[in-house]
Amino acid sequence: MTIEKKHSRRFILKGGAALGAAATIPNMFYINHAWAQDVVYDGEVFDAGGATLNVAEWGGGWEEFVRKGLTDQFEKDFNCKLNWDSSFPWFPKFVTQGANDPVYDVANWNLPNLMQTNAAGDFFLTTEEIKANVPNAADCWDFAFASGAGVTWAYQPYVYAYRTDRGALVSNFRDFFAERFVNKRGTYATENGLMHAFFMATAKEFGKDQYDMEAAFTALEDAMPMKISEFTFNMLSLLERGEVDIAVHIEGEALTLKKQGAPVDVWEWDSKPILTQTKTISRYSDPMQKKLALALLNRTLSPDFLEPFGEEFLWRPTNGKAAMPSALAAEGATNTADAVSAYWVPDWDFFVENKADITDRLNQIFGL
């Protein structure tokens, strides 16, 4: 089945601007709703009178840490309650319920899914509106706002996480596809942002460029059978149990497994893509919820949260005032305005435009 290559109309700029070239798409759905202007937030603590905030974010170990490091205190300080929904994906829920009755007030995304949702309706506040109401946003580097619809608060490079007790070390992107790892390779289900990035990186490696989808499909087909997981923490357990010997993963989380004493190490992809965490705020949430959402985002961007979170999982902050995790700083990583210029951001516009076809084809390859 041939898939037409649909080029992005936008230039692919290095580094920050490419983090979400959607910034340059005029927001076709913008409705100047009076409501959208009403809420202002100045950074102070306020009493929400027990209001409920609907939050969509990853579960498991992630949820545990974020609750401990951020939201439990937030609930106390602002007198509110968080409804934490970890039943990913968020996109279908947003589009089903519609923009005017947002299913979540705050949502945490990887870029591809965020852009897919943003293209489907007027769901989110723009970064301008957020910047005006979230004091800590002023300290964030410009690249954090590149998506136009949410604020990126952390990022991490892609790696292969692999078991060190299964032969030679991994030193090449193509090692994943090697004979010795047959049926012991791990990747993700088609909705997961890591699978999206892996797909683009595979295209870039095996084809002429990241747009060479056919090359990626062929390589992935040859890589079958593979083990499919839904989320990164789950994949860690597969690695630990020895169900998988090499997996697509991200630097910090994989290294936590190493910290626990498992025979695991990481290898950073030479194409250097990064996984980002971006938070959005729903435009048509009720005023109190919106104010809480802004307050929550403000706290998320604060070094008080970003630093311990970074120390634990090696997430790199986008707030210029936050310190780089010590383990990374020791190796020379620095937190600067063009810190991400060294990284490659796949063309997510292109991906989102072709997503339906890519998903269908990947399903076929996986055997679904």
Partner 1 sequence: MTKATAVRASGLSQHQFKWLLVVPLVAFFVLFFVIPVGLLFATSFNPAKVGQVALVSDLTFDNYIRFFSRSNYLIAAGRSILLASIVSVITLIVAYPMAFVIAKTENPARNTFLLILVLASMQLDMVIRLYGMMVVLGDNGLINQILQSMGLTDGPVALMYNFRGVVFGLVQFALPFMILTLVGVIMGIPPSLEEAARSLGASRRRAFMRVTLPASMPGILSGSLLVFALSISSYIVPALMGGFRVGVLPIHIYQQVAESARFQFGATIAVILFLISATAVAVYLKLGKSSSGGLA
Partner 2 sequence: MERKIPLPMLILAILGFCYLLFPILVVVLAGLTTGEFLTFPPKGLSLRWVISFLNSEKYLSAFFFSFKLALMTMIVSTILGTAAALFIARSRFVGRTALRAFFLSPVVLPGVVVGFALYAFFITSGLGISRTIWGLWIGHILYSTPYVIGTVGASLATFDVSLEEAARSLGASPMRAFRKITFPNIAQGIQAGSIFAFIVSFGQFEVSLFLSAPNSEPLPIAMYNSLRYKFEPDAAAAGIFAITLVIASVLLTNRLVNIRRLLERQDG
Q: Whose CA is closest to 239, among 156, 313, 166, 170?
A: 166
Binders of partner 2 among residues 170 to 209 (CB under 8 A) are none
43: tokens are 């950074």
Residues numbered 47 to 76 that lie near partner 2 (CB under 8 A) are 58-63
CA–CA distance, 203 with 87 (Å, rounded to integer):
30
Per partner kind, with CB cut-offs from 5 to 8 A, the member of partner 1, partner 2, none near residue 225 is: partner 1
Query: Is residue 189 within the footprint of partner 1 (CB under 8 A)?
Result: yes
366 belongs to the binding site for partner 2 (CB under 8 A): no
336 binds partner 2 (CB under 8 A): no
In the complex, minimum distance from the CB of residue 189 to partner 1, in angstroms, rounded to a whole number: 5
Please list the residues that pair with 355 across neighbouring strands.
none
Q: Give residues 340-359 in contact with partner 1 (rule: CB under 8 A).
A: 356, 359
**Residue 183 touches which of partner 1, partner 2, none (Cβ within 5-8 Å per kind):** partner 1
d(CA 18, CA 29): 22
Question: Which listed residue (27, 183, 234, 363) binds partner 2 by CB under 8 A?
Answer: 234
* Collapsed DSSP state (helix, strand, coil) of residue 111: helix
| Residue 207 CB, nearest approach to partner 1 (Å) | 23
Residues 229-248 that bind partner 1 (CB under 8 A): 230, 241-243
Q: Min. distance of Cβ 230 from partner 1 in angstroms?
A: 8
Residue among 33, 32, 48, 125 at smallest CA distance from 291: 48
Cβ neighbours, 10 Å, residue 321:
15
Part in contact with partner 1 (CB under 8 A); list of ranges 8-16, 144-152, 223-231, 334-342: 223-231
How many CA atoms within 13 Å lie on the side-chain side of 179? 0
State in angstroms the smallest separation of the CB of 320 from partner 1. 36
Q: Which residue has the tokens 């498992």?
A: 262
- Is residue 58 at the binding interface for partner 1, with CB under 8 A as the rule? no
- Pick 243 or 304: Cβ nearer partner 1: 243
What is the full DSSP assignment across 189-258? -TTSHHHHHHHHHHHHHHSSSTT-HHHHHHHHHHH-S-EEESSHHHHHHHHHHTS-SEEEEEHHHHHHHH
C-alpha distances (whole Å) from 206 to each of 107, 198, 249 are 34, 12, 19
Residues that bind partner 2 (CB under 8 A): 58-63, 83-87, 96-97, 230-231, 233-234, 236-238, 240-241, 260
Residues that bind partner 1 (CB under 8 A): 89, 91-92, 95-96, 120-121, 183-184, 189-191, 225, 227-228, 230, 241-243, 356, 359-360, 363-364, 366-368
